Amino acid sequence: MNKLLHYLSLTLILFMSNRLLSQHEVRGHLIDGNKEPISFANVILMNAEDSTTVVKGVVSEDDGRFSIKEISDNTYLLKVSFLGYAEYLKQIEVAGDTNLGKIIMQESSDDLGEVTVTARKPKIERKIDRISFNVENSSLSGLTTYDILKRTPGVIVSQGQLLVKNRPATVYINDRKVYLTTSELEQLLSGLSGESVKSVEVITTPPAKYDAEGGGAILNIVMSKNPSIGYKGSLNASNTIAVVPKYNIGTSQYYKSNNVNAFASYNFNAKNIYKNDESNVTYFEPNGTENSTWLGDFERDTKNYAHSLNTILDFALSEKSKLSLSANLLFTPKNDSDLNGRTDIYDPSDNLNSLFTTDSRLENESKNLLFNADYSTSLGDNGAALSAQANYIRYDDDQDQDLSTTYFDGIGNEIRNNMIFTQAFQNTDIYTGQVDITANMGNLPIETGLKYSGITSNSGLDFYDGAENVFNTELSDALDYEENIYAAYFSTSKDLEKWSFKAGLRGEHTDIAGISEQNGLVNDQDYFQLFPTFYAMRSLGEENSISLEYNRRIERPRFQSLNPFQYYINENNVKEGNPSLVPGISNKINFNYSYKSFLFFDLYWDRVDNSPSVLAFQDNQNQILRTLNDNLDYTQQFSLDITYANYITNWYYLYGYVSAFYMENQFYALESAAETYKIDTFSTFLNIANYFYFGSDGTFSGNINTYFLPNILAGSYKYEDPQFGLDIGLRKSFMNKKISVAINAEDLFRTMNIPLQSQYLNQDNGFYAISETRRVTFSVRYNFGNFRLNDNSRAINADEETRLKERNVLD
């Protein structure tokens, strides 16, 4: 009966969408005297009475077509402008859908050689459901796409994770989710030049169109479009100087004709990665007195080789229909680490009681194969469109670890030696299919769609003891995991004289079965959830506005956190998965006030119940520290954010962001009393970014960014010291922008690495992860062919792949 109700709810969402099909739209087709399309022309509707008030504007597409939606019946002045062509002005009457047909633009007789273009788009644009950070042709274009993400307003990098408003962010490219693990995402985007990035959208309250999975914001990377026909290519290379070197080389090739777009890119990353960890654990007796303190010093040297290949074929089947075939392949044949460490054990009087050393070899090999087919077509003349896509993802990961531990007494005499060996694997297949429809009904645009996701994941861990590698049945396990998700969504929007509204509803039915060989059935879930979103914005005069946002989302556990993988730092410090994890549910409310489009105030609250997290628990009796994937009871925060973004002069752009927040995490104290425990903090985050433009040709630019974060919560951990960072970058183009070189220095004072401590009840442990945050990167890019083209590089949509792994914030 419950399932029947769930499916009826999904059907109701679709039924609601079919009740609203039509809306006023103005469309046309821009061509020149040779009947060639004019791309990226500005098309603006203005109030016919005063000829100054802009009602709405768009930019023409690759084929010269444009469509302005959500237009009321009235008389307007249509204005079309593009460099090299005379301005086009025409008064038009809108009464229902209006097709202007072909508009022939006349070439300007002005001498373009005398024209100097000095206008620049604002760096920050506030929209009803997102903030757009425009980086095209800025100093940041010389960075990699991943480095641009790290510099996006409001983004915090904490323990290797990209956070927005203190929550892990999900990365999309052109509204398509990137289905890679955290480390693989960094590899992919580190090999993708920022020259191809138009903007980054920070979507703090994702609408119903996006998957409900992910309690944090979405970072949507908008790639530049391809405005004309021809061929182009590029070669790029970079060298990063840190504790150990890192290299990247790559190439991209792109060809476009009238009916076919072909794109291929290849990148090779070779990285030596060094990391040093200092740890501390104080173990206690049952009566609460101190037993011993363990101080560890741990080093990891990693050699990583990764190959990424991205291919796209776009076919124009007709004027209305397109087909795209894509593949995104990532091979990491080598990700091997040598680990060694020493742990000193002191008694309560600070006398060295004993010590042990650890030598370990961790070998990892993985591949991630993603294939996509995407079809889109327009439906009739009312602006309706349909898109359908199918995805297949294959993920394989193999990990072997040898660990040898030698124990000594307090004066250095060897007591004994112990060895363990583990073999772990994960094989995952994901199939997705979805259909989306956009249409108009009266003055209401709508979006609706269906999606199915099927996931099968098999993983396991074989544990062996001693030099003879004796198989340990109790510590070995395997997990078979299956998940099916059925989803439907509907959304619409409405613009009134001073108000703008947008609302949506998404329903998802999920059934899960996880079977452990060791424990039997350990994760059996069957549930249905509704996820509403709502936005309201009111204009206060011409330049000010207020808005209110609400959404509900879900945080599903990553597949890696569900399987029995174990990773040993030493025999007494282990990280492990948890097959019993359940999803978390988040609710968020945000109130915003915008002043003159350069000063923004956000006051918000968000809470996640049962949020999947990473917690460290020390077993005082057996003196073992376990880092466990577990569910928090809840996490919530209250925050006030202030953002300033404006040109101080025509060559200096200033961005400032300050967030004052209260944050709290409550969790079950697994190794303490049978009760929950809450930790909290009041803190701030400050980011000031300065962008400089030298000369009028835009070929020389620079940036200086600073960050300051006194404290934040990570599971049960808090910062011990404030975090501060300073980044500087310069970029210069030569030979009519065929060659560009850049130098970027990050964390100049090496102050981004901060010790963390978890201290409550009978728990007292911490770590200081010292990674290579201070580094200098030299990069060069050479463009050839018709290099003024912009490629169609994009990600492939298969939202479930990001759940393959979860970056351990304590790693």
Residue range 326-350, pLDDT digits in tens: 888 889 999 999 999 999 999 999 9
Better pLDDT: 607 or 570: 607
- Residue 2's pLDDT is 52
pLDDT in tens, 411-451: 889 999 999 999 988 899 999 999 999 888 777 888 999 99
Residue entry with tokens 């919560």: 713
Q: How far apart are CA 340 and CA 300, in angstroms?
A: 7
- Residue 94's pLDDT is 83
Q: Examine the pLDDT at 549 and tell me if it is beyond 60.
A: yes
- Residue 79's pLDDT is 85
Q: What is the mean pLDDT of residues 275-299?
A: 93
- Residue 593's pLDDT is 92
Give, for 15, the enclosing helix (H) or strand (E): helix 2-18
- Residue 659's pLDDT is 92
- Residue 791's pLDDT is 45
236: amino acid identity, one letter: N
**Taking CA 720 as the corner, what is the angle to CA 718 and CA 726, rounded to the nearest 5 degrees?**
105
Is residue 117 within 8 A of residue 83, CB to CB? The reply is yes
Q: How far apart are CA 736 and CA 787, in angstroms?
A: 10
Q: How far apart are CA 733 and CA 743, in angstroms?
A: 12
Q: How far apart are CA 629 and CA 611, in angstroms?
A: 11
Is residue 184 within 8 A of residue 178, CB to CB? The reply is no
- Residue 407's pLDDT is 93
Is residue 500 within 8 A of residue 126, CB to CB? The reply is no
Share of the chain above pLDDT 90, in %: 31
* Contacts (Cβ under 8 Å, ≥6 apart) of 759: 765, 766
- Residue 112's pLDDT is 33
Better pLDDT: 139 or 598: 598
Is 638 strand, coil or helix? strand
Distance in angstroms between the alpha carbons of the first and the last residue of the chain: 45
Q: How far apart are CA 793 and CA 262, in angstroms?
A: 10
Q: Give the number of C-alpha atoms closer than 13 A to the C-alpha of residue 522, restricted to the C-beta side.
A: 19
- Residue 805's pLDDT is 46
Q: What is the mean pLDDT of residues 193-208?
A: 76
- Residue 118's pLDDT is 35
Report the Cα 460 to chain-centroid distance in Å. 28
Q: How far apart are CA 100 and CA 776, in angstroms?
A: 53
15: amino acid identity, one letter: F
Sign of CA dihedral 147, 148, 154, 155: negative
pLDDT in tens, 78-123: 888 776 677 788 888 887 778 888 888 886 544 333 333 333 444 6
Token pair of 563 as six digits = 């399987």
Is residue 94 within 8 A of residue 21, CB to CB? The reply is no
Q: How far apart are CA 715 and CA 789, in angstroms?
A: 46
- Residue 193's pLDDT is 64
581: amino acid identity, one letter: L
pLDDT in tens, 629-678: 899 999 999 999 998 888 888 788 888 889 999 999 999 998 887 789 99
* Contacts (Cβ under 8 Å, ≥6 apart) of 587: 550, 551, 552, 606, 607
Token pair of 716 as six digits = 């049960």
Residue entry with tokens 């697994």: 670
Q: Give the pLDDT band (50/70/90) at residue 231.
A: confident
pLDDT in tens, 301-332: 999 998 988 888 889 888 788 898 988 888 99
* Contacts (Cβ under 8 Å, ≥6 apart) of 672: 760, 761, 762, 763
Share of the chain above pLDDT 70, in %: 82
pLDDT in tens, 511-534: 988 887 776 767 788 899 999 999
Residues facing residue 310 across a β-bridge: 265, 328
For residue 468, count CB atoms less than 10 angstroms from its CB and return exposed for 0-12, middle for 13-18, buried for 19 or more. exposed
Query: Cα dihedral angle (665, 667, 672, 675), rounded to 10 degrees?
Result: 110
Is 102 strand, coil or helix? strand
**Taking CA 3 as the corner, what is the angle to CA 584 and CA 458, rounded to the nearest 5 degrees?**
55
Q: Give the pLDDT band (50/70/90) at residue 684.
A: very high
pLDDT in tens, 125-176: 766 667 777 777 665 665 667 777 777 776 766 655 677 776 777 777 777 7
Burial 531-551 (b: 16+ CB within 10 A, else e): bebbbbbeeeeeeebebebeb
Q: What is the mean pLDDT of residues 368-391?
A: 85
Residues facing residue 155 across a β-bridge: 164
Q: Examine the pLDDT at 589 and tell me if it is beyond 60.
A: yes
What is the value of pTM for the model shown? 0.74
- Residue 149's pLDDT is 77
Residues, the chain: 811
CA distances (Å), origin 316, targets 258, 608, 694, 794? 8, 44, 42, 17
Q: What is the mean pLDDT of residues 367-387?
A: 85
Token pair of 634 as six digits = 């809840």
- Residue 654's pLDDT is 87
Token pair of 657 as six digits = 């962001």
DSSP assigned state of 18? H
Rounded to the nearest integer, the mean pLDDT of the chain is 81
Closest CA to 271 of 775, 808, 809, 803: 775
Query: Cα dihedral angle (692, 696, 700, 701), rounded to 10 degrees?
Result: 20
Q: Examine the pLDDT at 564 and tell me if it is beyond 70.
A: no
Q: Examine the pLDDT at 17 and tell me if it is beyond 50.
A: no
Q: Which of 11-20, 182-191, 418-427, 774-783 has the lowest average pLDDT?
A: 11-20
Q: Examine the pLDDT at 796 and tell me if it is beyond 70.
A: no
- Residue 14's pLDDT is 44
Q: What is the mean pLDDT of residues 679-690?
A: 92
DSSP assigned state of 107? B
Sheet harboring 566-570: ordered strands across? 566-570, 573-576, 624-631, 612-619
Report the Cα 669 to chain-centroid distance in Å. 31
- Residue 494's pLDDT is 85
Q: Examine the pLDDT at 620 and tell me if it is beyond 50.
A: yes
Better pLDDT: 571 or 590: 590
Count of CB atoms situated within 10 Å of the CB of 244: 14
Q: How far apart are CA 118 and CA 599, in angstroms?
A: 24
Report the Cα 167 to chain-centroid distance in Å. 11
